[in-house]
Amino acid sequence: MPLRRAAPRHSFLKGIAMALALFTASSAADAQVGKIERLKTPAGIEVWFVRDDTLPILSINFAFDGGASQDPADRAGLAYMTAAMLDEGAGELNAKAFQERLERRAISLSYNADRDTFRGTVRVLSEHRDEAFELLRLSLNTPRFEQEAIDRIRASILAAYRRSLTNPDEVAGLRWFAQAFPNHPYGRSVKGDEKSISGVERSMLFDYAKKNLARSNLKIAVVGSIESAELARLIDHAFAKLPAKADLAEIPEVKPQSLGRREVVDLNIPQTTITFGGIGLKRKDPDFMPAFVLNHVLGGGSFSSRLYREVREKRGLAYSVYSYLATLDHSGMFMGGTSTRNDRAAEALQIIEQEIVRIAKDGPTAEELAQAKSYLTGSYLLHFDTSAKVASQLLEIQLQELGIDYFERRNKMVNAVTAEDVRRAAKRFLADSKLLVIMVGRPAPLSKSNGG
């Protein structure tokens, strides 16, 4: 993939100050730095904006709903390849001229695609904002998709794909999604494979951009030093001429399949990588926050989690072991993983399954619950130590439809979680403890355990 330029970073202390402002801002301080403004441009485009004049920098994050889930079934990776191509020349600028314009003003412009969204970011000094938004406009509205660039980017993607075939983490992840979501867009690789990427034609890139990059499915977050009226003008300059409505295929709701199944992917390596997962809760589910707290106790708390204590500290089976709640627009998952010696992989998996069963049955102790809530509320500020992170968080809250006041409500929601809430959530996503397990390596023979 083409080299992406690093974004400018604010100081840690400045970021903490901004985050504190976001938490403490009141209706009497609407104009205060750190207040989130819901800005509406003359063209009707909504932007969430935090004015910050500490440094002369703008951080812009935006996303279009759809992403790789909109790829044709036989062209997985189309969204990902489109994202890689948008800064490879636009308007009258070929790829070299476009990149030189970015370089001249130290503008960071990048695109990416995941399963549910097609994303972009811009980082720029405020004095060069006109140039940045003009290049953004060109890349979104008039990409060139020249054949030379297509061939070069295709070769880069395919080279990365071939390397991934020897990466146990990537192999396990791809195989897990393929087994969990058969005949569904989520089961396909976001980056595609040899056959699908080789078949991408120039017309397909134009078609994807036309159908997916529209104002109706657009979310934007901006943090930085700029007047609201000036920002509104620039947003319209870049985005207002996009199609009014996206032409998106409907994606069905889905739950992970193949639960209780274990699959071994043979790879001649000294360690076995284990990826496991099952049914979780979607982000807007009323029990998501209790489940989030519960998972922190189980496997989300790194050095303090039960999985870390049982798998690493007591038995020395692995350096790292973890679990987490993964949320997509049309599915919720409980997932986790570890890597350990081939001859001890079955033992590590058995311990993980036992701990899941135990916490599902008994829940966390009062001390574990209190410690989890303390950590989750205290560490939240670390998500806001740069303007780029603040912009990213603003965008995520929009995409997940959590409300513009989520910053103020989030820690209160964590602190409100009770032991009863956690037990209720555990019954909903951990009760049967059935997991789809993918093991990549050459593990010792597995014994039947926990639905395997």
Q: What residues does each domain of the chain span? A: 12-239, 262-391+402-441
Predicted confidence at residue 85, as pLDDT, reads 98
Predicted confidence at residue 270, as pLDDT, reads 94
Predicted confidence at residue 176, as pLDDT, reads 98
Q: Give the residue ranges of the chain where pLDDT is below 70.
A: 1-34, 446-452
In Å, what is the CA distance from 4 to each residue of 89, 121, 123? Answer: 15, 11, 12
Q: Which amino acid, 184?
A: H
CATH level 3 topology of 12-239:
Cytochrome Bc1 Complex; Chain A, domain 1 (3.30.830)
Q: How far apart are the first and last CA of the chain?
A: 39
Maximum C-alpha span of the chain: 65
Q: What are 61-102's pLDDT values in tens digits?
A: 999 999 999 999 999 999 999 999 999 999 999 999 999 999
Among candidate residues 312, 314, 287, the one with its CA nearest the CA of residue 301: 312
Question: What CATH superfamily is the domain 262-391+402-441?
Answer: Metalloenzyme, LuxS/M16 peptidase-like (3.30.830.10)
Query: φ and ψ at 443, to 5 degrees?
Result: -70, 155
Q: What are 91-124's pLDDT values in tens digits?
A: 999 999 999 999 999 999 999 999 999 999 999 9
Predicted confidence at residue 447, as pLDDT, reads 54
- The rounded percent of the chain whose pLDDT value lies above 70 is 91
Give the span between the Cα atoms of 125 and 114, in whole angstroms. Answer: 28
Pairing type for strands 46-51 and 218-224 reads parallel
Predicted confidence at residue 433, as pLDDT, reads 74
Under 8 Å between Cβ of 18 and 52: yes
Give the span between the Cα atoms of 123 and 391, in whole angstroms. Answer: 11
Identical fold, 12-239 and 262-391+402-441: yes
Q: What are 355-399's pLDDT values in tens digits?
A: 999 999 999 999 999 999 999 999 988 888 888 999 999 999 999
* Neighbour-count burial of 341, counting CB atoms closer than 10 A to its CB (0-12 exposed, 13-18 middle, 19+ buried): middle
Predicted confidence at residue 7, as pLDDT, reads 40
In the block, which residue shows the tokens 């904002």? Answer: 129
Query: How many whole angstroms from its chain centre is CA 258?
Result: 24
Predicted confidence at residue 450, as pLDDT, reads 42
Residues in CB range of 106: below 8 A, 6 or more apart: 5, 8, 124, 125, 128
